[in-house]
Structure 1
Amino acid sequence: MAHGNKPDEKIVYIGDSRVRVKTEKLKQQDFSAYPGKSEVFIPNFLLKEWMVAVVCMVGILLLVMSDPPPLGYPADPTNTAFIPMPDWYFLFMYQLLKYPYTSGDFIVFGTVVIPGLLFGGLIIAPFLDTGKERRFYRRPIASGMMFLTLFAVIYLTVFSWHHYQEELTANGQIPEHIQRELDIEEAKQSGKPAPGSTSAALPAIVASDDPGAAIFQKATCVACHATDLKGNKNMGAPALLGIGDKHDKAAILDIIKNGYGNGKMGPQYDANIAGGLTADDIDKLAGWLALQKAAK
């Protein structure tokens, strides 16, 4: 140990801090007493697990690339007609929270207590089931809990999707991602810009001084389609600007009398008559709406 910078000072080593080089290689454990049942974790078992994980990951990547996720319209929090749906692996929990004993006054039970019991059971399972038996039919408690949980998850998932389909049918709705694809395909066939693109601007009102325009302001149509004919997405009412490109006067009269879209819009004829309009007024209204065409 030196105390200064003198060249003739005596140095005394009180310990050896040098790292010693290990020349011995790691010896694998001998599992010959258990043929085919045991092996070293590193690298034998770990390499097998890694290879299986890589194959699974590649399979998932191929599925993702071959079937891209569906895209709906941009999210609109004010759209009360939209039916929210989680991803498929959360459908069972979504359905569970619909029941009275897991929602409303019991929301804490459904969102905290039940998930806590499920995840807590997974954590303490190794401590409760300490048997060495690996065959599932000789582990009745653990196997029974596993099959019960699996059955509940499958049942809630299937029933949740079935209930969602019933809601769509009852409300006469088409899922947004399907409606978006239909609108895009319709725009392509008609040579119009795709919905949502910057060039898909609505046309202007045609013949704003026509008597039908004044009748429109008194009709029930204005409640949903707005005074400027731009519609209301929150109510599922499309814009009427350019409707003349899709429907003629006779078709518009038929929609007013019989409704449209399998209950999406009910008949409006009787309601307008009760509101003070005459049959001649409604005829003029349909004629004016038929004039609403995009400029060419």
Structure 2
Amino acid sequence: MKRGKGMKFVGDSRINAESTSTVPKDYSEYPGRTEAFWPNFLLKEWLAGSVFLVGFLTLVLTHPSPLEGMADPTTAGYIPLPDWYFLFLYELLKYKYASQDFILLGVIVIPGLAFGALLLAPFLDNGPERRPNKRPIATSLMLLALVATIWLTYDSAGAVDWEARAEANKPIPASEVEIDTSDPGYAVYENSCMSCHGDDLTNGAAGPPLIGIEHTTEEIADISVNGIGDMPADVFQGTDEELQQLAEFITSVNEQAGE
């Protein structure tokens, strides 16, 4: 073979003779399209992260997350809700074709297709362009997911009175009052009231706590039979003697708590 342009020297048989250098070019050879990782890119990422962190901490300090009471499996009237970042999936199950007979669509198929599309987006549209208008598939999938998530979350959150819910389910400190379980009124309370007001009168699961109320014995007896507010009538089913024992027991507990 003649010397010259056509001659190629390969020192290792595993290297293609047509391969180019594996050393990347300097970023300065691509003006306007890239920048140095340190310190330019890293500094901008750090600044953006700091702004988000400061804003998030400010939101937490000014609007603390409402806490609820201890979980009580005996509460039949409590309506559980997921955390805010799962509300859009919760709202999805309220639609006709994502619930009841179509529950598998709402629980598995629709979320699976949505998250699967986002997962496959980089592989379906893997061009070198970084501008959104030059990447229609990835941009469309992301915008669709963003709009759907925001709308479903907003629609679900708007239907809940969060302040009232937090007030009704706020934690109640443990009672320092010793409950006399040998009191005959406690047995009546156990059969008629414990499921709603808790075993120590402070749990307030489906009903409010009974410690700290300002009612007389007669008023408590009347409420037990005729109800008040959200408490329906005829909850208590017993004799007049048992009703008197119940009212006196609740009154004695409140007197002890006020000492």
Task: Normalising by structure 2, report the TM-score.
Answer: 0.63
Alpha-carbon contact 1:92-1:153 (below 8 Å) kept: yes
Distance 2:85 2:242 in 1: 51
> 2:206 matched to 1:236?
yes
Distance 2:250 2:30 in 1: 89
Distance 2:65 2:128 in 1: 44
In structure 1, the residue corresponding to 2:255 is in which secondary structure?
Answer: coil
> 2:246 matched to 1:246?
no
> 2:200 matched to 1:204?
no
**Residue 97 to residue 70, structure 1, CA distance change in 2 (3 Å):** same
Within the candidate set 160, 184, 193, 1:224 is matched to 193
1:182-193 correspondence to structure 2 within 5 Å: none
Distance 2:192 2:88 in 1: 38
Partner letter of residue 177 of structure 2?
A: A
Instruction: Tell me the residue number matched to 2:120.
Output: 124
Instruction: Tell me the residue number matched to 1:63.
Output: 59
In structure 1, the residue corresponding to 2:193 is in which secondary structure?
Answer: helix
The Cα RMSD (Å) is 4.5
**Residue 123 to residue 239, structure 1, CA distance change in 2 (3 Å):** closer
Instruction: Tell me the residue number matched to 1:267.
Output: 233
Which runs of 5 or more structure 1 residues have no equivalent in the other structure?
1-26, 169-173, 185-194
Distance 2:81 2:111 in 1: 20
Highest CA radius of gyration, 1 or 2?
1
Distance 2:179 2:151 in 1: 49
Partner letter of residue 232 of structure 2?
A: G
Within the candidate set 118, 129, 134, 2:131 is matched to 134
Within the candidate set 68, 71, 74, 2:70 is matched to 74
Which runs of 5 or more structure 2 residues have no equivalent in the other structure?
1-23
Q: CA deviation at 1:33?
A: 6.8
Any idea what the Cα deviations from partners look like across 1:208-238, whole Å, max 9, x if unmatched? 5xxxx59x94x9x943347x98559596256
In structure 1, the residue corresponding to 2:70 is in which secondary structure?
Answer: coil
Q: CA deviation at 1:90?
A: 0.9
Any idea what the Cα deviations from partners look like across 1:18-58, whole Å, max 9, x if unmatched? xxxxxxxxx98364773x55323344223321232233223
Alpha-carbon contact 2:194-2:201 (below 8 Å) kept: yes
Identity of aligned residues (%): 37
In structure 2, the residue corresponding to 1:68 is in which secondary structure?
Answer: coil
Partner letter of residue 224 of structure 1?
A: C
**Residue 179 to residue 46, structure 1, CA distance change in 2 (3 Å):** same
Within the candidate set 231, 255, 259, 1:294 is matched to 255
Q: CA deviation at 1:258?
A: 4.3
Instruction: Tell me the residue number matched to 2:9.
Output: none
Partner letter of residue 83 of structure 2?
A: D
Task: Normalising by structure 1, report the TM-score.
Answer: 0.56
